[in-house]
């Protein structure tokens, strides 16, 4: 080993969902929204004056923060905006999780959490979900350096109610509790209202799922002004100009069109429920999803084999080769047409499996 190599920070990186480069694809592996963003987003991009790009963007991102604050009924100084919720969450880890005590997050959850913990040298413990993939709130009553969990959880799609969340926050007022709500718009109840009652609660959301803007990278957090001020201070010590002008203008337009936002959410929820019925008819079991994906398993057929078969049909779903969930698939909800192709392929798979058994 070269002398300088000893000083390199080494971590096991997060592995994002595959981005296949093939034609005629049914892409159901990264929980993207199958519908385009609100029309105002396209209009903002078409009308954008590229001459503005010679200037730095507003480091405070005031226009977008004000729009979000008005939408959620909070003050501007209670909103933090970043480049996707991953950026927001990473900044939150860096800002709030600096104790010698371990932070807590579930053993089956968003796999970026342990990556950030290792990157920032934060000790952590992972209380186990129960046999039904549910969080056990009493596991989070012990001494800790902070708590984070998604609601709905990923990849299980299970959502906890506000009473459950409040109980965890109430029992941990000496540490920061972060609720990651990337999928909350598809059936969950946001904990944003609890931020007015608990100054140690931070709620993080994203434009990537329900607002159809994964490619634009916009995320935000809502919490007490003291939490947001702390994050802003860290952000300005890290990178003052985190969001580009086109993202700011596009984000504002996406929030303004609330009718379209609700319409596309409703479409996805309806397709999710119809797909769940079709999958159950084929013998699949699944969790009670409140997200834009289904977490499914089959008693007879191995998840890995189904995953590989679907790939041959250019249908991509997510398979996790991990303890406790290695016989499950996470299937993003696409358009009705995409889900019909999925169901047809699964029907063919089951027929072939029966004929060869």
Mean pLDDT value of segment 15-38: 92
**Which candidate, 293, 273, 276, places its Cα nearest to that of 285?**
276
Centre a 10 Å sphere on the Cβ of residue 289 and count the other Cβ atoms it contains.
26
**pLDDT tens-place string over residues 79-120:** 999 999 999 999 999 999 999 999 999 999 999 999 999 999
- The Cα–Cα gap between 265 and 243 comes to 26
- The Cα–Cα gap between 275 and 294 comes to 9
Segment holding 271, helix H or strand E: helix 258-281
Contact 149, 180 (CB under 8 A): yes
Residue whose token pair is 């996805």: 268
**pLDDT tens-place string over residues 299-309:** 999 999 999 99
Contact 164, 47 (CB under 8 A): no
Structure confidence at residue 77 as a pLDDT band (50, 70, 90):
very high
Angle formed by the axes of helices 62-72 and 245-256, nearest 10°: 20
Please list the residues that pair with 296 across neighbouring strands: 286, 329
**pLDDT tens-place string over residues 235-252:** 999 888 889 999 999 999
Centre a 10 Å sphere on the Cβ of residue 353 and count the other Cβ atoms it contains.
15
pLDDT higher than threshold 80 for residue 189 = yes
The fraction of the chain above a pLDDT of 90, given in percent, is: 90
**pLDDT tens-place string over residues 318-329:** 999 999 999 999
Structure confidence at residue 65 as a pLDDT band (50, 70, 90):
very high
Q: Give this prediction's pTM.
A: 0.96
């Amino acid at each position: 080993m070269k002398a300088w190599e000893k000083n390199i920070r080494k971590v096991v990186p997060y592995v994002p969902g595959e981005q296949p480069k093939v034609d005629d694809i049914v892409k159901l592996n990264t929980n993207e929204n199958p519908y385009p963003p609100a029309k105002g987003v396209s209009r903002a991009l078409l009308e954008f004056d590229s001459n503005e790009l010679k200037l730095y963007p507003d480091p405070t991102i005031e226009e977008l923060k004000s729009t979000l604050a008005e939408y959620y009924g909070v003050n501007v100084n209670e909103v933090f905006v970043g480049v996707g919720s991953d950026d927001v969450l990473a900044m939150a880890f860096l800002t709030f999780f600096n104790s010698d005590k371990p932070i807590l997050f579930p053993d089956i959850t968003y796999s970026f959490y342990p990556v950030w913990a290792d990157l920032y040298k934060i000790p952590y413990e992972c209380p186990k979900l129960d046999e039904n993939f549910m969080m056990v709130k009493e596991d989070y009553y012990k001494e800790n350096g902070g708590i984070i969990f998604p609601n709905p959880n990923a990849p299980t799609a299970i959502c906890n109610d506000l009473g459950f969340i409040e109980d965890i926050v109430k029992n941990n007022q000496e540490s920061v509790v972060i609720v990651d709500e990337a999928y909350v718009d598809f059936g969950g109840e946001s904990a944003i209202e609890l931020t007015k009652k608990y100054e140690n609660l931070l709620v993080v959301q994203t434009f990537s799922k329900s607002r159809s803007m994964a490619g634009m990278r916009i995320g935000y957090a809502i919490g007490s002004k003291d939490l947001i001020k702390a994050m802003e201070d860290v952000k300005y010590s890290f990178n003052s100009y985190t969001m580009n002008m086109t993202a700011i203008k596009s984000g504002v337009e996406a929030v303004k069109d609330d009718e379209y936002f609700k319409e596309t959410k409703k479409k996805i929820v309806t397709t999710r429920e119809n797909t769940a019925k079709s999958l159950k008819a084929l013998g699949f079991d699944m969790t009670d999803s409140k997200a834009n994906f289904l977490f499914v398993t089959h008693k007879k057929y191995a998840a890995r084999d189904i995953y590989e078969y679907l790939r041959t049909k250019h249908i991509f779903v997510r398979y996790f080769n991990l303890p406790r969930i290695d016989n499950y698939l996470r299937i993003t909800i696409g358009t009705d047409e995409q889900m019909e192709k999925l169901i047809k392929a699964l029907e063919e798979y089951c027929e072939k499996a029966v004929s060869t058994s």
